[in-house]
Chains A and B, each alone.
Chain A
Amino acid sequence: MMKVEILTPKGIEFDREVKEIIIPTRSGQISVLPHHVPLISVLKAGKMRIVTEKEEIEKEIEGGILEVCKDKAVILLKKF
């Protein structure tokens, strides 16, 4: 499990432990699992999928920034 935080200028929109995130970046869709290497990536518009223990959340995003460091991923978006 890893911690995922989604931040927008409106506040912290999402802060939970998840199993996996599948997210569209400029260099293609990537999936981030626990123990991913530290990464900063530019996101592009598309569908983001967050897989948690119980559910799968799918959401359209318009681009943003992804930062992965240790077992924590922070996604900065304009809107969520």
Chain B
Amino acid sequence: MELKEIRLKIQSVTNIWKLTSALETLSALKMKKSQKIALESRPFAQKIGQLVRLVEPTLRDRVAMRRRPLKEALAVVIASDRGFCGSFNQNILKSAEKEIIQITQKSHVTTLPVGKKAVSYFNKKGIKTERSVIGIGDYGTLEEIKPLSDYIIKSYVDNNYQRVYLMWTDFVSTFTQKPRMIQLLPLEWENLKEFAHEADKGVEECETLIEPSPQILVREIIPQLVEYLIYQCVLESNASEHSARMVAMRNASDNAHERVGELTLEYNKARQEQITKEVCEISSAKEVLG
């Protein structure tokens, strides 16, 4: 390679390195914050999940908990708005697609993508989508999620959909995130068990008094349950996204750094080669002139 060419290459790789390491620092901060939020609200969401178990015997025949003949299903897929986060989006979208194909065998499915990446993925694949949600910030808030959960509840109650699935990326640790799916509606303890992170121990079957009345409980609590479940899934996805981005950026900047080293070595070699050649030329010319 020409000296100039190598120099230009070093310059551009250094620029990439600067960019990725800046992004790494930034996403490390976001990762910390989003992990904190997700972990802090976990006990709350788990308790909400456990409440389903307690109210299930009493409310089994209510709309939110009753199985209706399945014709239309809604799959809510949570990915991210931005890329640059390694295989985060790929993982969740691929696994969601697989699940959707499976559900298609039983019923008609409509997908509700959350995040720009999900929207473009499903559009490209030609999978039927309806309403999309984009612009949920780095740390999802209840206010941002409310329209989504209201829409889900409303279309479920109106019988537009008889089943609602939720697919998101569960945050396990900074280095591991797992795509997961639950059946959100109808609310069934069987399906939420895993989400509530609770083995069958702990809560004992006891006759629970429901006050003021099951009707009010359904009206007041079920929407909140659904809202908080979605909220938690968004938080988990946020934490996963930022972690994935941090790790991806760290790898990228490590690679860029390494590449700069390699290129510099190459540059020095080429430079030396040229100097040797010049010295050679000069001395041979001198000999000839001798």
A residues lining the B interface (CB < 8 Å)? 7-12, 25-27, 37-42, 65, 67, 69-70, 74, 76, 78
> Given that A67-B54, A70-B206 are contacting pairs, would A41 and B48 also be in contact in the complex, using a CB cutoff of 8 Å?
no
B residues lining the A interface (CB < 8 Å)? 40-41, 43-45, 47-48, 51, 54-55, 142, 203-204, 206-212, 216-217, 220-221, 224, 228, 231
What chain A residues lie within 8 Å of B211 (beta carbons)?
25-27, 39-42
Inter-subunit contact B41/A74 (CB<8 Å): no
Inter-subunit contact A38/B212 (CB<8 Å): no
Inter-subunit contact B206/A38 (CB<8 Å): yes
Residue of B nearest to A15 (CB): B43
What chain A residues lie within 8 Å of B142 (beta carbons)?
9, 78
What chain B residues lie within 8 Å of A39 (beta carbons)?
208-211
Inter-subunit contact A42/B208 (CB<8 Å): no
Inter-subunit contact A37/B212 (CB<8 Å): no
What chain B residues lie within 8 Å of A11 (beta carbons)?
40-41, 43-44
What chain A residues lie within 8 Å of B48 (beta carbons)?
76
Identify the 10 closest CB pairs spanning chains A and B, nearest first: A11-B40, A27-B212, A41-B211, A9-B41, A38-B208, A38-B206, A7-B44, A26-B212, A39-B209, A42-B220
What chain B residues lie within 8 Å of A40 (beta carbons)?
51, 54-55, 208-211, 217
Complex A-B: 8 CB contacts under 8 Å: A7-B44, A11-B40, A25-B211, A39-B208, A39-B209, A40-B217, A65-B224, A70-B204
Selected from A25, A38, A70, A76, the residue in CB contact (under 8 A) with B47 is A76
Inter-subunit contact B47/A7 (CB<8 Å): yes
Cα-based distance from A37 to B209 in the complex (angstroms)? 7
Task: Give the secondary structure class of B's interface.
Answer: helix
Inter-subunit contact A67/B51 (CB<8 Å): yes
Could you count the A-B residue pairs with CB atoms below 8 Å apart for me: how many are there?
Answer: 71
Residue of A nearest to B141 (CB): A9
Residue of A nearest to B58 (CB): A40
Selected from A10, A37, A42, the residue in CB contact (under 8 A) with B216 is A42
> Given that A9-B231, A69-B203 are contacting pairs, would A42 and B40 also be in contact in the complex, using a CB cutoff of 8 Å?
no
Residue of A nearest to B211 (CB): A41
What chain A residues lie within 8 Å of B207 (beta carbons)?
38
Cα-based distance from A22 to B162 in the complex (angstroms)? 40
What chain A residues lie within 8 Å of B231 (beta carbons)?
9
Residue with the highest number of chain B CB atoms closer than 10 Å, among A7, A8, A9, A12: A9
Cα-based distance from A74 to B203 in the complex (angstroms)? 12
Q: A11-B40, A40-B51, A42-B220 are in contact. List 9 more A-B contacts (CB 8 A).
A: A7-B47, A9-B40, A9-B44, A10-B41, A38-B209, A40-B209, A41-B210, A65-B51, A69-B203
Residue with the highest number of chain A CB atoms closer than 10 Å, among B47, B142, B203: B47
What chain B residues lie within 8 Å of A25 (beta carbons)?
211-212
CB distance from A3 to the nearest CB of B (A): 13
What chain A residues lie within 8 Å of B44 (beta carbons)?
7-9, 11, 76
